[in-house]
Structure 1
């Protein structure tokens, strides 16, 4: 009898120990674990939220092209002969009508001198008809002499000398390439899908591979009248005028232009990823207290990163940066009439 009592008493004591142990585990281990899980969920949600702010929104169209000078011309003599003298060097700045090179022209110089003397003599005593004849001969001699001189048609810079002293040349021989870099332009190809947003006078920002840290303001100065094939697509050539020049810029540099096609100052905005579109309506997940509420918004200007909010939100609101429907948000939405994501559970 005593042995049976002791046995049952031991079993009862063991049961009490097990119950107390389980309670202690729940009290000191399981509860903190659950609390830690809740805190992790809160931290994850907080890290995915952003504050609705007001900033300028700028939408641009990017395109690539190359840098070109205002003018570029290849100069040639108007007569053939032997290059007697090169009077400039590559990179030199020259002025309009400056002589850049000359041919051997003793014969033309002699004819010019003779024609001038004959004309001057005729003006003294010859009849008017002879004076007129001598004047014409003098002008022809002047013209032939000028053909042996190569002059700059405008102020510019000598880019390339194609010949040297003593070379024999004709009227088709390239002599000097002259540039006018007083104004610089960038030509880019705009995809036909984007060309409808491009207009004369639009502002742009241009960068060059040679100097990636330099940014130059520009504006659209011309738009080609037709589209041409570029691989499998069509593109329209657009020219931008640099509003700031720099001697480091060289014709032919590869360029990237970002043309401003739309802009809103001080716009209420959220990340584009924060917006979900359902049935033609746009929604943003707003965090209020511990709940997430899908709020319908009206969207204005958008870029690849942000969207303007015209109505539905206020500055300072907290929203999910990535608006994805979660099981938790679906559960919260089920009891909201007309909730866009209130899908019934299975």
Structure 2
């Protein structure tokens, strides 16, 4: 190898060794800063975690009366038809009671006769002519005659069927000339002033309902009208077959005036287990460590672990009863891969 080439190699080697033995650079003295982890977060605000129960039922009249004949007889006149509105005490059906009227007239004659005999006996007793026994017999005969008259008056009255309350005739089951027996149903009458729905509710949900509670209802026949009804009563026992408790819900008075009728289908929303204005976080944001539950709160772009107490879970949200305050920023995703003090940056918001 030529001498001049060997010298060149020595110079190159010396320069390389000098570079390796120099002082370290400033960048090598400081560790690289930790990169902030991108996260999704949620700001704690009051939420309504009340649970809504959706059921449906048909509209019914609160009172449905079957009007029956009170005596045997032949129908003489029927004064109403289906759809007629009637008032309490109005005569609806009349039976032929000609025989009973004749007996009533005879009974009234007997009363008049007995009254005259009683008056004559009282006058004679006052004069000391008639005995007390004859006076008592005359008084008893008058009472007997009056009782007989009352009996026949009642039988005549039984020939008339009157409305027991205000309402609408929904069914007519008899025509003039028909023979009917006592207790045969002749008409059906419904009270449309108070319309109700009677849905069945699970025995687990009915415990959260109270009489007087407002209940929003929408009727399929009136999609543009929303009614606020009230729970009128809650039946005392569950059905042994369905294990559901009947809840009677009364529609407002204007429903009938607006054309709502028995048979219309209603959709009912009832609030059970009311929990308005509670703090909640996404259920996925809650971690478990033994018996404890925790979340991560974002403080100065770092995670701070916070032990919390939880309540109910509604959908994706879980109630926080202790450990957090309104306005705090919480990690909204699974915290299992996170740690205390970890630097983060918020790139998305939930809720």
TM over 0.5, shorter chain: yes
Determine the C-alpha separation between the residues in 2 that align with 1:95 and 1:149: 15
Asked whether 1:217 is paired with 2:229, we answer: yes
- Please say if 1:53 is aligned against 2:53: no
Identify the structure with bigger relative contact order (alpha carbons < 8 Å, sequence gap 6+).
Answer: 2
TM-score, length-normalised on structure 1?
A: 0.67
Q: 2-side partners of 1:287 and 1:53: how far apart?
A: 15
Deviation, 1:142, is 0.9
The equivalent residue for 1:22 is: none
Q: Does the 8 A contact of 2:101 with 2:156 survive in 1?
A: yes
State how 1:46-195 maps to structure 2 within 5 Å. Answer: 50-126=42-118, 127-195=138-206
> Residue 240 of structure 1 aligns with which residue?
249
* Matched length: 285
Range that drifts further, 127-136 or 245-254: 245-254
5+ residue gaps, structure 1, are: 1-40, 337-346
Cα separation, partners in 2 of 1:202 and 1:284, compared to 1, 3 Å: farther
**Deviation at 1:310?**
3.0
Within 2, Cα distance between the matches of 1:88 and 1:95?
12
Q: Does the C-alpha gap of structure 1 residues 317 and 94 become closer, same or farther in structure 2, counting only changes over 3 Å?
A: same
- 1:133 CA drift (Å): 2.4
Tell whether the 8 Å contact from 1:159 to 1:178 is kept in structure 2 after alignment.
Answer: yes
User: Which structure has the greater CA radius of gyration?
Assistant: 2
Structure 1: distance between partners of 2:165 and 2:139: 38
CA distance in 1, matches of 2:176, 2:288: 74
Offset at residue 149 of structure 1 (A): 0.8
Alpha-carbon shift at residue 69 of structure 1 (Å) = 2.4
The 1-side partners of 2:189 and 2:215 are apart by: 28
Mapped to 2, the partners of 1:305 and 1:241 lie a distance apart of 34
Deviations 1:111-151 (A, max 9, x none): 32332343234323453233222212211111111111111
Deviation, structure 1 residue 282 = 4.2
Q: Distance in 1 between matches of 2:47 and 2:274?
A: 11
**Paired residue for 1:333, among 333, 339, 349?**
339
The structural deviation recorded for 1:175 is 0.9
CA distance, structure 1, for counterparts of residue 195 and residue 291 of structure 2: 46
Q: Is the 8 A contact 2:203 2:238 kept in 1?
A: no
Give the deviation of 1:162 after TM superposition: 1.8
Answer with 250-259 or 274-283: which moved more.
Answer: 274-283
Cα RMSD for the two superposed structures: 3.5
